[in-house]
Structure 1
Amino acid sequence: MRITIGSFILQQLRALKVDRIYGVPGDYNLALLETIEHDQDCEFIGNCNELNAAYAADGYARLKGAGALITTYGVGDLAALSGIAGAYAESAPVICIAGTPPLHAMQGHALLHHSLADGNFDNVMNCFRQFTVAQALITPENAATEIPRVIACAWQQKKPVYLQLPSDICEVEIEVADNPVPYRLPSSDASHLQLASAALLERINHAKRPIILIDQMVERYQLQAQVLALADKFAIPLTNMPTAKCAISENAPGWLGGYSGDLSRPELFELMAQSDCVLSFGVRLVDSTTGYFSQQIPAQAVVDIQPYSLKLDNLSYPAVTVSELLQALLDKASTTNPMPLTSLPDPQQKLATPSNSPLEQDYFWQRIQRFIQADDVLVVENGTSGAAVGGMRMPNGVTVVNQPIWGSIGYTLPALLGTMMAAPQRRHLLFIGDGSFQLTAQELSTLLRHEQKPIVFLINNGGYTIERYILGETSSYNDIGSWNYARLPAVLSPQTQAFCIEVETGQQLEMALEEASRQDQLAFIEVKLPMMDSPAAMKEFCRRCNSFNFGLHNPRRSA
């Protein structure tokens, strides 16, 4: 059939159930935006800047499976690039579509605005090659093949990709198949799958102290049910890296808590250190998730399970898709569960009575743990919020969206816009520090403009507390401007009906939580906490970060 290139791009995005595209208008992308304007099944969401748009597309992808954003060449591209890099680090499949100058101008090396005015149009593409798994400059000749190829790479590898669409070819018609092939994960090589599943079954059957360790891969490839079935079938306990917080239910039989090196529960740390079979699902041992490389995982015990390969006992099995491997393993296994797994006991912690005393972190997070409900979406900023939420036991169905590896502060507010549009039927809670909020605060106006209704907790502790603990507790570089945060919604959206409040005591917090639960509007709760008050886990992380970063010339050594 005949279809315009712009419409073909939208068709391919719809195949991944993408119905919101984030971005900022620019002269080179207006033709594609006009196509979206008249499309019944796709909506453009205009952001305050391209970095925020990339964060929103990332948040959308976390819950919907894929996300998309539109930039304009050069200035827009590079403004979004940190967000694209974060999507790469955190395995979020984001399709970045850049409107570029007309094809004839690029081929003729014209000196144009939004470029370096040197006739070079390769430099931006070269930048994106470092942070995406596939790229293409679309032409009328390659559009029918390159657009599906690049988008398929995002879907299969769960990483961002980059398409350049020249402004003069959006309305060019091309010939494509009448019935497009749906996006699927690659299937396994049959013989490799047979050998891999047999070898894995033998390894598990001979293990005396097996354990399952999962990372982001399990959530991104929707393997939760199969991993839990594996644990149940073979009575293997489970744990997760901090990057896979809530990827499996934290109330599932056999779940032992999160694993973060020697910052884990002592029993879990010891069990991991003594295991003879660690079923490792896409695990990456990063400084920020291992207590600065404090993990003790016996190398000879690791069974490395990746999306499309298996490695165990120094043998590699390529062309093995993980979902098919797990299914083959479950089919081969005995139907008898040798020993039922048990659940961790619920934490027994009594919450203090709310008072008029100033709030502290410990009380606030204990109260928040009781406020969180099943199926909530928690969007959690790095810092005190991330440390506190990381240590909580969550109800079933909770999704945690954070950025523990790339760690770009300010990510969460725009990401919240994406998560809310991807799953509007769920309750969304944002926990963001004052320093992080100031980086991307203007996106609050987009949330209000689109009548989104999250509950926002602005943790106001007077600047960059995590940095203060690493270095410079009283140094001016960790200070920020003092804002009247609770009044910002009315500034950014004068007609807003948002519920906005400042809380400083336990009693004020109780009233705010009760009112926020009743509201059918955005709730913005500014929580004032002491500057150097922090969860114990963050203090220890910062101490290790200080030691790792500054070595012999650490200013604290000479203090």
Structure 2
Amino acid sequence: MKITIGAFILQQLRTLSIDRIYGVPGDYNLALLELIEQEGELEFIGNCNELNASYAADGYARLKGAGALITTYGVGDLAALSGIAGAYAESAPVICLSGTPPLHAMKNHELLHHTLADGNFDNVMNCFKQFTVAQALITPENAAVEIPRVISRAWIEKKPVYLQLPSDICDVEIEISQAATSPQLPQSDPYNVQLAAMALLARIKQAQKPIILIDQMVDRFQLQQLVVDVAHKFAIPLTNMPTAKCIIPETTAGWMGGYSGDLSRPELYDHMAHADCVLTFGVRLVDSTTGYFSHHIPAGTQIDIQPFSLKLGNTSYPAVAAADLLQALLTLDKGITAPPLAPLPEQKHRLATPGEAALDQAYFWQRMQRFIRADDVLVVENGTSGAAIGGMRMPEGVKVVNQPVWGSIGYTLPALLGTMMAAPHRRHLLFIGDGSFQLTAQELSTLLRHEQKPIIFLINNDGYTIERYILGENSSYNDIGPWDYAKLPAVLNPQATPFSVAVETTQQLELALEQASRQDRLAFIEVRVPMMDTPPVMKEFCNRCNNFNFGLTNPRRA
């Protein structure tokens, strides 16, 4: 059957349930954008810049399973590259479609705009090879094979990919053997699965103090229920890395809280330090998620479960999909399910009575504990917001979208655009600092243009407070320009009617929350707190960061 190259790309995207594509128009990608406009099955969402588009596609992928963006060659590609790298670090399947110069110009090495004017068309591709798991320059000869190959790699590996589409071939017809079909995950070797499951079962049966530690992999491969079933079947307590916040519901019996080295709850840290069997699911022990490598997993206790393999002791089991392994484990054991583990006791908060007291972080986050409700989507910036949310116990069904590993400040505002469009039926809350907001603030206009209705909390502590705690408390480089944040929504879209307010007392916050909850429009609440006010765990983290980064040459000691 015949199909145009552009239509084949869009058909492949739809197999991943993608119905929106983010990006910025440019002369080299207009043919594909025109096709999207005419076809009408996918919606193009124009962003303020390509970096924001990459963040939006990442946010969309976190809830939808995969996301896509369109850039124009060179200038657009490299503007998006930090967001693509972040998607790689955080395991978000994002397809970056780059409209390139026409194929004949690339073949003839012509000197063109949006290039270095040296005839080299390999340099941008070489950049993307470092931050994607598959890439291709599409031609009429390779399109039928390369388009599904590259897009399926994003789905299988849960990482970003990169496709270059020359501007003159979007409407060229090619022959394909069949219509696009959904990518399939690699098949397990049934024999290896049985061997691995038997070995794992024997190890679990021997354990006196086991624990399960999960990371992003459990969400990306939709293993949540299987992991909980295994935990309950064998009475194994559960914990998660900060990168996996709320992937397992925090109301689950046996959940012990989040694990971040010795910054964890003391009971959890002690349990992990004395465990004799630690089942880890795709775990990466990163400085920012382990309290600067303060974790203690006893040697020889870790059982490393990856998406398609298992390592137990010195034995590796390839071609073993984690889902198949867990299913086999549950089937193998015919014993009676262990007695249920006790749920983690509810936190008790002593909340001050609202009044005209000045707001601080402690009051705000305790109030958020009661404001957040089941099934909310929380988009959480690194910094004080990330530290506070990380220590809170969330209601059933809450989804947390964050970027603890890559840590690109400003990520969350454009990511919010993606999460809202991926799950429009849910309530979305954004927690972002003033410094982070200034990096990507213009995407607020896109949220307003598309009539999105999140509740945005901008924590205004007058600059880069986290950096102040690391180094330079009174240094000018940690200062930012003083914006009148609450007036920005009206400026960025005069036709919109958002609810926008600045609060600096507890009473003002209460009134703002009451109003925001009743609004059927975007709500923007600027929360003014003291400059050096931050959750205590953040202060300790920053101190460790200072010691790790600067060592014996620490400027604090100068």
Check conservation: 1:448, 1:493, Cα contact below 8 A: yes
Check conservation: 1:59, 1:418, Cα contact below 8 A: yes
Deviation at 1:191, TM superposition (A): 1.5
Deviation at 1:335, TM superposition (A): 4.5
Q: Structure 1: how far apart are the matches of 2:216 and 2:473?
A: 33
1:7-18 equivalences under 5 Å are 7-18=7-18
Secondary structure, aligned partner of 1:27: coil
Check conservation: 1:59, 1:401, Cα contact below 8 A: yes
1:17-96 equivalences under 5 Å are 17-96=17-96
Check conservation: 2:12, 2:181, Cα contact below 8 A: no
Check conservation: 2:455, 2:523, Cα contact below 8 A: yes
1:523 equivalenced with 2:523 (yes/no)? yes
1:289-300 equivalences under 5 Å are 289-300=289-300
Match of 1:98 in 2: 98
Output the amino acid matched with 1:142: N
Secondary structure, aligned partner of 2:557: coil
Scaled by the length of structure 1, what TM-score is found?
A: 0.99
Match of 2:477 in 1: 477
Output the amino acid matched with 1:109: H
Check conservation: 1:211, 1:275, Cα contact below 8 A: yes
1:145-544 equivalences under 5 Å are 145-544=145-544
Match of 1:132 in 2: 132
Q: Structure 2: how far apart are the matches of 1:70 and 1:38?
A: 16
Secondary structure, aligned partner of 1:299: coil
Output the amino acid matched with 2:408: S
Q: Deviations over 1:70-129 (max 9, x none)?
A: 000000000000000000000000000000001111111111110111110000000000
Secondary structure, aligned partner of 1:378: strand
Output the amino acid matched with 1:326: L
Q: Deviations over 1:387-443 (max 9, x none)?
A: 000100000000000100000000000000000000000000000000000000000
Check conservation: 1:135, 1:162, Cα contact below 8 A: yes
Q: Structure 2: how far apart are the matches of 1:48 and 1:124?
A: 22
Output the amino acid matched with 1:551: G
Deviation at 1:179, TM superposition (A): 4.0
Secondary structure, aligned partner of 1:546: helix
Check conservation: 2:254, 2:344, Cα contact below 8 A: yes
Q: Comparing 399-408 with 172-181, which one deviates more in the overlay?
A: 172-181
Secondary structure, aligned partner of 1:482: coil
Q: Structure 2: how far apart are the matches of 1:391 and 1:365?
A: 10
Secondary structure, aligned partner of 1:300: coil
Output the amino acid matched with 1:327: Q
Deviation at 1:23, TM superposition (A): 0.2
Q: Structure 2: how far apart are the matches of 1:374 and 1:238?
A: 20
Scaled by the length of structure 2, what TM-score is found?
A: 0.99
Q: Structure 1: how far apart are the matches of 2:181 and 2:97?
A: 21
Check conservation: 1:233, 1:333, Cα contact below 8 A: no
Q: Structure 1: how far apart are the matches of 2:178 and 2:134?
A: 25
Q: Structure 1: how far apart are the matches of 2:236 and 2:18?
A: 37
Q: Structure 2: how far apart are the matches of 1:519 and 1:339?
A: 46
User: Structure 2 unaligned runs (5+)?
Assistant: none
Deviation at 1:338, TM superposition (A): 2.4
Secondary structure, aligned partner of 2:192: helix
Output the amino acid matched with 1:410: G
Q: Name the count of aligned residue pairs.
A: 558
Q: Deviations over 1:321-347 (max 9, x none)?
A: 111111111111124112221101111
Deviation at 1:152, TM superposition (A): 0.7
Output the amino acid matched with 2:397: G
Output the amino acid matched with 1:279: L
User: Structure 1 unaligned runs (5+)?
Assistant: none
Q: Deviations over 1:509-556 (max 9, x none)?
A: 000000000000000000100000000011010000000000111111
Q: Structure 2: how far apart are the matches of 1:299 and 1:40?
A: 56
Secondary structure, aligned partner of 1:488: helix
Deviation at 1:38, TM superposition (A): 1.1
Secondary structure, aligned partner of 2:272: helix
